[in-house]
Chains A and B, each alone.
Chain A
Amino acid sequence: MMGQVQALLTLRRRSLRNRARELRRDGLAKLAFVAVGLCGVSLVAYGVAFWCFRFIEGFPAIGAPLNERLLALFFLILLVMVGLSTAVISYTTLFLAAETEFLFQNPVQPRSIFFLKLIESVGFSTWATMIVGLPVLAAFGHVRHAPLLYYVEAASALAVFLTFCGFLGAGLTFLLIEIVRRWSARKVMVAAVFLVGLPAWLFLRSFDFAGLNGRDNLQVLDRFVAGLTTLKSPFFPGQWIASLVVSASTGNRSEAAFQGCVLLANTLIFLPLFAAYGRWRYSFSWLRARDPFVSARASAAGAPVAEPESRRTPHRRDVFSIGGPTASLFFKDLLTFVRDPAQISQFLLFLLLLAVYIASLLQIPRDVFTENWRRAIYFSNLGAISLILSSFTSRFLFPLISLEGKSFWIVGLAPIERAFLVRQKALLGAAVILTLGFLAAVLSNLFLGFGGGQLLGALYTVALAGICLTSLASGLGAAYPSVGEDNPARIAVGLGGTLNFFASGAAVLILLAIECLPFILPWPGPEEGVPLAHLVALTFTGVVSWAALRIGQRSLLKLES
């Protein structure tokens, strides 16, 4: 058993070493860019968290307890996000990935494969959170003048907590895979509405901004977080780490140690449970997850999903005939996407988050802010929408070329140029992203009370951002493909994916800065400056999109030769 684990670890270590050896100049530059980007993200997270904590602490009547409650809320959000993320990633990594299939063909015990893949899943879904979470905890300690030991305790606590979240998400997947696979699609949808929709609705209802005015913002926030009874429960994992962090910051060692041990015990308990699952159940579940007969039987039991041939074929023919190769590839990509439960579930999760964001704007009153604040809200909303869209492109559009993978030759046989493939992916992405972006921009601006010229301006900016983002994701996706990887989540968080994420973030920020400038600069003023800014933004979008697509197309041509 130990020999097998060692063999698997050696495999992973050598794979990493070989990748490091293959790094050329552009690879190193990419690595440096990503490293600088990660440092930048950490610094921004630290700066924002420090400013917020210090600002709130500046109101002694409510500040200190409010900061502690916000910390508990932060951990609740991490629990949900990391848990769901690991649930999806662990499903693809443990049950669908080609490498897992390869490992099963070797004389390795299923339990060893299970643990290797589980650790990878948890690592993949938590490393980015660690990079954002650590600066937040450091900022809290700085504001509270915590002793040096606090920083060690907080970092260890966050690592254990994120592992707990990951294990919980993975555990949820193993549980669901036993239950849900026997269900029909309709049954799954109904359960999802209850399990996700109901808590989301209750969460939204807990926002009470009705009585908000300019001076009450903090009080409303305090009332909101104080109303979340989950945060105060001694059995809530987020409360364990929140208590640990607060007590460590004040030097209450015994409380910190107690809460830390509770958290550690509840994290470690997953190990024997997973060991038992890996030994007795994993190989069976893995086989069933790959068995199309089970899925077909489940579908047949639930609803008559198979349409009569007479109805289905003409529809397909229509699609083929309407747009030629573009429509065919669209159809292929959409079908592949819909057939992948990991992709579709994460896409729905993204949609839900976007819906939660837009719906929460309904609670913000329109007439209590000054003109400057309204402008700040307007651009912040545009920034939020653009960044959500950037997550969409990074997660779903960037991996599309890589996902062609070993089947690339099939597309290669089609009578199309390679460069066309990049344009097709960009078009597909633009169609989805612009639809979502326009919908989000219209609804959010109407909810915030922005109409007329402001709404048109918002649509224009979102259109430019959408074009920029789709071009970057398609272009960089083609320039840095991971053809050997079949897990889209891993492609998205790889080096190329991270590079695309930062490039997208930078592009969005520059675009918004250009649109903001007329309201900040003393000359030439908004009336003359706004059309000029629109023109500059259009030029910027054109240059970025052209450059990204060109890089992608050239790289793909080279890849072919």
Chain B
Amino acid sequence: MRFVGPFAAAAVVLFWLLMNGLLLREVTEYRGLDQYRRGVIDFLGPNIRRERWMGIYRKNRRLGHTGFSIERRFDQQGMGYRMDFSTRVEIDIFGRGAAADGGAAPGVEIDGWITLDAEVVPEEVKAKVAAGPARLTLEGARREGRFHVALKNAGGQVAFQTSLPLRELQLGDALAPLPPISGLSVGQVYRVNVFDPFWKENTVAETTVKAAARKEADGILVDCFELETRLRGAVFRSFVTRDGEVLRQELPPDFLLLRESRKRR
């Protein structure tokens, strides 16, 4: 009984040292990350899952949607993220064929998921891609220090394959890629590798936070940032809140992407 007090005190002090040490390590690690990885962590915050959905418009007509949900992942491979993405556009992007769903309108469709490790580097990807009449499957996995991506046709034959350096990667959807980031401030520049199955190429998208702005959303004026993304020579403008909510994207020549609170077909 005599030693209960000192032992309890020692246990409390050790517990305090452990927890504050872990907290300090977490903060130090976070501060040591680059802007992109910090942005992804800020985007999720303490939440386990977050979504971003945009309606695609052209000349006031809704053509489809694009977006993703990102969630924290805790499994045998450790901590990381899983991203489910979906894009559907009713437009004759390549000037050919029927709609992605086999209907009358031509279009493109992409549905799949990608798993990322704690460093936001891809581990595995799987997606179904439809462009007009063409049906493709995108598969990717880590092998020998690189990320191997293959596009297979309906018969399972490889139509295109490439290996990418093992670093952060975003999947493109033939539209404007905007990484899931928040905690923005004017002057920040984000460079993210984008692999686009439609263009079959790996390109760097450079996003710059140009200025503070205000845009209407949900019937109220919202503080946001104007972002400029340069990809394959084209310039896209986006308006994003400080918490990473994309309010509006303007794509050349005349596409408009507007924020939606949930996934709509």
Binding site for B on A (CB under 8 A): 1-2, 58-63, 65, 68, 215-216, 218-219, 222-223, 226, 234-235, 243-244, 246-247, 250-252, 254-255, 258-259, 261-262, 264-266, 268-269, 271-272, 275
**Across the interface, which residues of A come within 8 angstroms of B22, CB to CB?**
258, 262
Please judge, given known A-B contacts A246-B45, A247-B48, A250-B49, whether A61 and B16 are in contact too, CB under 8 Å. no
Return the chain A residue nearest B261 by Cβ. A60
Whether B16 and A265, one on each chain, are in contact in the complex, defined by CB atoms closer than 8 angstroms, is yes
A63 to B26, CA, bound (A): 27
**Across the interface, which residues of A come within 8 angstroms of B45, CB to CB?**
65, 68, 246
The one of B5, B47, B220, B242 in contact with A218, judged by C-beta atoms closer than 8 angstroms, is B220
0/1 string, B129-147, CB within 8 A of A gives 1: 0000000000000000000
CB distance from A259 to the nearest CB of B (A): 8
**Across the interface, which residues of B come within 8 angstroms of A265, CB to CB?**
12, 15-16, 18-20
Q: Among A65, A68, A215, A223, which residue has the most Cβ atoms of chain B within 10 A? A: A65
The one of A222, A234, A252, A272 in contact with B13, judged by C-beta atoms closer than 8 angstroms, is A272
Whether B1 and A2, one on each chain, are in contact in the complex, defined by CB atoms closer than 8 angstroms, is yes
Whether A219 and B46, one on each chain, are in contact in the complex, defined by CB atoms closer than 8 angstroms, is no
Given contacts A61-B217, A250-B48, A275-B5, 8 further A-B contacts (CB under 8 A): A59-B219, A60-B245, A234-B26, A246-B45, A246-B47, A264-B15, A265-B18, A272-B13
A267 to B25, CA, bound (A): 20
Whether A250 and B218, one on each chain, are in contact in the complex, defined by CB atoms closer than 8 angstroms, is no
Whether A219 and B12, one on each chain, are in contact in the complex, defined by CB atoms closer than 8 angstroms, is no
Whether B20 and A226, one on each chain, are in contact in the complex, defined by CB atoms closer than 8 angstroms, is no
Whether A247 and B222, one on each chain, are in contact in the complex, defined by CB atoms closer than 8 angstroms, is no
A404 to B220, CA, bound (A): 58
Please judge, given known A-B contacts A59-B218, A219-B220, whether A226 and B242 are in contact too, CB under 8 Å. yes
Total contacts A-B at CB 8 Å = 101
A215 to B13, CA, bound (A): 51
Q: Count B interface residues, CB 8 Å.
A: 35
Whether B222 and A61, one on each chain, are in contact in the complex, defined by CB atoms closer than 8 angstroms, is yes
Return the chain B residue nearest A259 by Cβ. B46
The one of B20, B48, B220 in contact with A216, judged by C-beta atoms closer than 8 angstroms, is B220
Whether B243 and A65, one on each chain, are in contact in the complex, defined by CB atoms closer than 8 angstroms, is yes
Pairs across A and B, CB under 8 Å, 19 listed: A59-B220, A60-B261, A61-B222, A62-B217, A68-B46, A215-B219, A216-B221, A219-B222, A219-B223, A223-B223, A234-B23, A235-B27, A247-B46, A265-B18, A265-B19, A268-B12, A268-B16, A269-B13, A272-B12
Whether A255 and B46, one on each chain, are in contact in the complex, defined by CB atoms closer than 8 angstroms, is yes
Secondary structure at chain B's binding surface: helix, strand, loop or mixed? mixed
The one of A2, A250, A266 in contact with B20, judged by C-beta atoms closer than 8 angstroms, is A266
Whether A254 and B12, one on each chain, are in contact in the complex, defined by CB atoms closer than 8 angstroms, is no
Tell me the residues in window 228-247 of chain B with beta carbons closer than 8 Å to chain A beta carbons: 241-243, 245, 247
With an 8 A cutoff between CB atoms, is B74 at the interface? yes
A306 to B245, CA, bound (A): 65
Whether A62 and B72, one on each chain, are in contact in the complex, defined by CB atoms closer than 8 angstroms, is no
The one of B27, B49, B218 in contact with A61, judged by C-beta atoms closer than 8 angstroms, is B218
Whether B241 and A61, one on each chain, are in contact in the complex, defined by CB atoms closer than 8 angstroms, is yes
Whether A234 and B46, one on each chain, are in contact in the complex, defined by CB atoms closer than 8 angstroms, is no
CB distance from A237 to the nearest CB of B (A): 11
Return the chain A residue nearest B31 by Cβ. A234
Whether B9 and A272, one on each chain, are in contact in the complex, defined by CB atoms closer than 8 angstroms, is yes
**Across the interface, which residues of A come within 8 angstroms of B18, CB to CB?**
265
A219 to B243, CA, bound (A): 13
With an 8 A cutoff between CB atoms, is B82 at the interface? no
**Across the interface, which residues of B come within 8 angstroms of A235, CB to CB?**
23, 27
Please judge, given known A-B contacts A65-B243, A68-B45, A247-B48, whether A262 and B20 are in contact too, CB under 8 Å. yes
With an 8 A cutoff between CB atoms, is B259 at the interface? yes
CB distance from B213 to the nearest CB of A (A): 13
**Across the interface, which residues of B come within 8 angstroms of A226, CB to CB?**
242
**Across the interface, which residues of B come within 8 angstroms of A2, CB to CB?**
1
Return the chain A residue nearest B14 by Cβ. A265
**Across the interface, which residues of A come within 8 angstroms of B26, CB to CB?**
234
**Across the interface, which residues of B come within 8 angstroms of A234, CB to CB?**
23, 26-27
CB distance from B232 to the nearest CB of A (A): 29
**Across the interface, which residues of B come within 8 angstroms of A272, CB to CB?**
9, 12-13
CB distance from A335 to the nearest CB of B (A): 45
**Across the interface, which residues of A come within 8 angstroms of B222, CB to CB?**
61-62, 219
Return the chain B residue nearest A275 by Cβ. B9
A154 to B49, CA, bound (A): 20
Please judge, given known A-B contacts A60-B261, A61-B218, A234-B27, whether A252 and B9 are in contact too, CB under 8 Å. no
A519 to B245, CA, bound (A): 42
Please judge, given known A-B contacts A219-B223, A265-B16, whether A246 and B46 are in contact too, CB under 8 Å. yes
The one of B46, B242, B245 in contact with A250, judged by C-beta atoms closer than 8 angstroms, is B46
Q: Top 3 A-B pairs ranked by shortest CB distance?
A: A61-B217, A265-B19, A272-B9
A259 to B22, CA, bound (A): 11
Q: Among A2, A58, A268, A275, which residue has the most Cβ atoms of chain B within 10 A? A: A268
